A and B are shown apart, each in its own frame.
Chain A
């Protein structure tokens, strides 16, 4: 096959890549051909017939150019009077079922909704009353075709009721032109099939099975169907009618995927819509429920407007100068290591760099961490064993992987867009092994789903490694060339014989063997892990085992393979890179490494304490022990209140001084002595580093509304007031220049270079490229290390009160479950009996029979449901909810930023009891 095809389009010879169709080739060559059903990134469909062309040396007549593969020597005509008349004829057929009085009128841009119309177009048939007015592809196409005004203004109004009862999403099938882009994006790109084409021929329309709600049809509320709809048929409910005056591309603050979003801003300075940027490499036009519908918090009227200081027990509004003076004065009392700083995962690299510099250079402590950083072990073994503590490959590499191992990650909800290429690969036949106690969307797609006893995950992975070694499934050449420590690893595996692993994990030997074989024999294979249900003591061993699995099977250093730690927090990766962590300085310099920290000390003109500081997980204890007396918190986090940090909020009472920089009032700001209003991501300039090491820009979409300031600015101003010299930053780019000077991995990155696709570190110098895939050229001078496997002690139950584990799961779609949709006040909700799965032996002990009412009491509340004795693992209770249930609760949540606190699925210590008949009736 030739590398490039050459064809002639309208007399110009253009080059096209093999595999593209004629439409793509002409669009790429800058020749516009009208189209309605084609959409970049999706397969050609050939339904709308708008892209007809004439091709010499191709199919006869006027073929749809999207369905004709470009071939060498084709001579394509995209515009002729014949084509124009064919297109107009087709458009007239489309308009026969779409209100078009305005579409074919020359006054289209001039009329208001209530103007008197000579064409007698009724108000609700006018384009001005369509939510997609001014961003309607149908209108653009009609304009392009220069339709005559002789088409009759009557049309076949379908008179279908609007679907407006589901969260976030509205559908008006009277405006649909049945291009099926929505159905195809849902199926082809997202792998959900939550909507479908019903019926056939002229009666075909978009809908759900039996017209049911999206809540039970498998919808993940990603809004992809809305983004691709060329008409007003599918729209966002919020700000449905609002018009944008500007669009800014920036980075989503919700998770570490780093989706590029086009934020539409209206004339009142509100973000009214968010649309995934189709040109972005990080998300390729996709978003998720958080990025699509969860950004309204920036428009909230409840945002903190001015600084507050506690006087006589009350928080009082003051000027910035007063607040900064006060904060600087109070903080000066705690430069003895009793200060700690909790930064925000939404902080930019610049914010968090300045935060840690402030903590270290001014407050003389290493107690600085990010509030989301509860699982630092996700990346630390990667750094020790491979060299870089980050994902080895880009997210969209997953699309071409042939095998996956996903360990304890609910990534379809937490890092949703990273799961899009994964699901795509699965639909192309890739294999999937899931290790998780919870039932999640991915377990539904899994070839093998292993549910080990909680706390035995590393033993299970050790068993898989053992099988790979015993059956000689490893990649001998790769190991010999690239890895150290093979003998020690093999030796350490002697304690992982499958009899023992079966006993400790509760997973059968056969299952372990087949998982190991499947993983080792399908390549390239990627490993994705969140370790969300893995106990802290097990995490390091788990990641070590996963690195070993990747190395022994030769799945490191090549495309579509590798390891992907799945952290939470938009800038989790960048925060570690810039040293916002208690044991590492910027650029992964160990705190204790005094030689290496010298250059930082010189740059900052301040000594750096050598003792590592308190981690986020240790903060509550440190406050209670009196080791931390002054706390500085930037940004809100669900971890403050969900029990992950113990009784954190109560501990705040013991502090002598609490400084909070945040956007909204919360329990935390209520306890504060000084509150400084923070700018949100939409007002900030700066950079985030995503989970695939991609440094991307935040571009301000909004002007500051009140007195809020970026966190780096507020911290620098406090630092300067405390007498520090090197905090005179004028703009985030100056901070970033300092970061690239100090952090080698960022050495070649500047704001100017980042551009629309971002840059993936390491990018060492201005004249060097960035690095999408790590270790592609081997492991530099040294070799990768294989870690030794240490068997974990048998896990103890969490405590005597809660002897069991409760694994809650969540699925998009459960056709087998009895789900009822009820509509209250025009809003759909799901009603169903929760099913609680119990192991038959546990049920026998408690005297529970199939179908009886049971109650699970966990450390975070109670839940009732119907018992099913289908559990596979003793002392593990599980229950699976529907995603739709969560979406309705998020929609009704009145807190300012509900998506930030979207409920996750931790594994909880729990106890089970039978509900007596009388109690069940309550």
Chain B
């Protein structure tokens, strides 16, 4: 086993035992790991199974049920583009297209260098400022294709 994988195992263990979640259940343990690592590596499934005295399959069944869990490492930056009705009418399609072109993506997902995760969001709750995106959880409104790409390159250069 590589030292990298060992490292992940230790991080998973630490996250589970850190006690930030009040109860120890399969779900709370998975959430602890997800909070800490941003995703659920294979080791998390195994560790949680061992901890809760069940099998990897039961844990996997729980984990895959929730679409908010992810199983691959997230990008360093998170770009969410709203495609709710208001933003859609205000031209979210163009924003998405331009950012995807800029990042070399064809849908949601991570860039090849894992610098950016692109996600579509159904509503970011800022319907007065369409179209809206959120970059690393900071809202930007009244976007144009150009200003959106600029905002993404800004965060990439950080």
Name the CB-closest residue of B to A813.
B55
Q: A227 to B60, alpha carbons, bound, how many Å?
A: 24
Name the CB-closest residue of A to B46.
A815
B112 within 8 A of A: no
Q: A818 to B9, alpha carbons, bound, how many Å?
A: 11
**Whole-angstrom distance from the CB of A821 to the nearest CB of chain B?**
12
Q: Is the CB of A217 within 8 A of B50?
A: no
**Whole-angstrom distance from the CB of B42 to the nearest CB of chain A?**
6
Known: A209-B45, A815-B50, A816-B50. A217 touches B56 (CB 8 A): yes
B25 within 8 A of A: no
10 A-B contacts (beta carbon < 8 Å): A187-B58, A193-B57, A193-B58, A194-B57, A196-B60, A198-B64, A200-B67, A209-B57, A217-B56, A218-B57
Q: Which residues of A contact B53 (CB under 8 A)?
A: 444
Within 8 A of A (CB), among B74-90: none
**Whole-angstrom distance from the CB of A187 to the nearest CB of chain B?**
8
Q: Which residues of A contact B61 (CB under 8 A)?
A: 183, 196-198
Q: Mark A190-224, 1 if CB is under 8 A from B, else 0.
A: 00111111111000000111101000011000000
Residues of B within 8 A of A (CB): 1, 42, 45-47, 49-50, 53-61, 64-65, 67, 71
Known: A218-B55, A813-B55. A208 touches B60 (CB 8 A): yes
The A interface, classified by DSSP as helix, strand, loop or mixed, is loop
Q: A209 to B58, alpha carbons, bound, how many Å?
A: 8
Q: Is the CB of A815 within 8 A of B42?
A: no
Name the CB-closest residue of A to B66.
A200
Q: A195 to B61, alpha carbons, bound, how many Å?
A: 9
Q: A444 to B50, alpha carbons, bound, how many Å?
A: 11
Q: A187 to B55, alpha carbons, bound, how many Å?
A: 10
**Whole-angstrom distance from the CB of A859 to the nearest CB of chain B?**
33
Name the CB-closest residue of B to A819.
B46
Name the CB-closest residue of B to A198.
B64
**Whole-angstrom distance from the CB of B28 to the nearest CB of chain A?**
18
Q: Which residues of A contact B46 (CB under 8 A)?
A: 815-816
* B60 partner, pick from A187, A198, A444, beta carbons under 8 A: A198
Q: A197 to B57, alpha carbons, bound, how many Å?
A: 8
Q: Is the CB of A199 within 8 A of B55?
A: no
Name the CB-closest residue of A to B48.
A815
Known: A193-B58, A209-B57, A815-B50. A200 touches B45 (CB 8 A): no
Name the CB-closest residue of B to A203.
B64
Q: Which residues of A contact B60 (CB under 8 A)?
A: 196, 198, 207-210
Q: Is the CB of B56 within 8 A of A199?
A: no
Q: A200 to B47, alpha carbons, bound, how many Å?
A: 23
Q: Is the CB of B55 within 8 A of A192?
A: yes
Which of A197, A209, A818: most chain B CB closer than 10 A?
A209
**Whole-angstrom distance from the CB of A388 to the nearest CB of chain B?**
38
Interface residues in A, total, Cβ within 8 A:
23
Q: Which residues of B contact A816 (CB under 8 A)?
A: 46-47, 50
Q: Is the CB of A199 within 8 A of B57?
A: no
Name the CB-closest residue of A to B59.
A209
Q: Which residues of A contact B59 (CB under 8 A)?
A: 209
Q: Which residues of B contact A815 (CB under 8 A)?
A: 45-47, 49-50, 55-56
Q: A813 to B45, alpha carbons, bound, how many Å?
A: 13
* 7 closest A-B pairs by CB: A209-B60, A196-B61, A209-B56, A196-B57, A815-B49, A816-B50, A218-B55
**Whole-angstrom distance from the CB of A570 to the nearest CB of chain B?**
31
Q: A197-B61, A209-B45 are in contact. List 11 more A-B contacts (CB 8 A).
A: A192-B55, A193-B58, A198-B61, A210-B42, A210-B45, A210-B71, A212-B56, A217-B57, A218-B56, A218-B57, A813-B56
Q: A818 to B1, alpha carbons, bound, how many Å?
A: 8
Q: A210 to B59, alpha carbons, bound, how many Å?
A: 11
Q: Is the CB of B55 within 8 A of A194?
A: yes
Q: A217 to B54, alpha carbons, bound, how many Å?
A: 11
Q: A371 to B47, alpha carbons, bound, how many Å?
A: 45
Q: A813 to B42, alpha carbons, bound, how many Å?
A: 15
Name the CB-closest residue of A to B57.
A196
Q: Which residues of A contact B64 (CB under 8 A)?
A: 198-200
Name the CB-closest residue of B to A816.
B50
Known: A815-B46, A815-B47, A818-B1. A193 touches B65 (CB 8 A): no
Q: A634 to B57, alpha carbons, bound, how many Å?
A: 45
**Whole-angstrom distance from the CB of A765 to the nearest CB of chain B?**
50
Q: Which residues of B contact A444 (CB under 8 A)?
A: 53
**Whole-angstrom distance from the CB of B71 to the nearest CB of chain A?**
8
Within 8 A of B (CB), among A156-202: 183, 187, 192-200
**Whole-angstrom distance from the CB of A419 to the nearest CB of chain B?**
17
Q: Mark A774-818, 1 if CB is under 8 A from B, else 0.
A: 000000000000000000000000000000000000000101101
Q: A350 to B55, alpha carbons, bound, how many Å?
A: 45
Q: A210 to B44, alpha carbons, bound, how many Å?
A: 12
**Whole-angstrom distance from the CB of B97 to the nearest CB of chain A?**
27
Which of B56, B59, B65, B71: most chain A CB closer than 10 A?
B56
**Whole-angstrom distance from the CB of A181 to the nearest CB of chain B?**
15
Q: A534 to B56, alpha carbons, bound, how many Å?
A: 34
Q: Is the CB of B50 within 8 A of A208?
A: no
**Whole-angstrom distance from the CB of A198 to the nearest CB of chain B?**
5
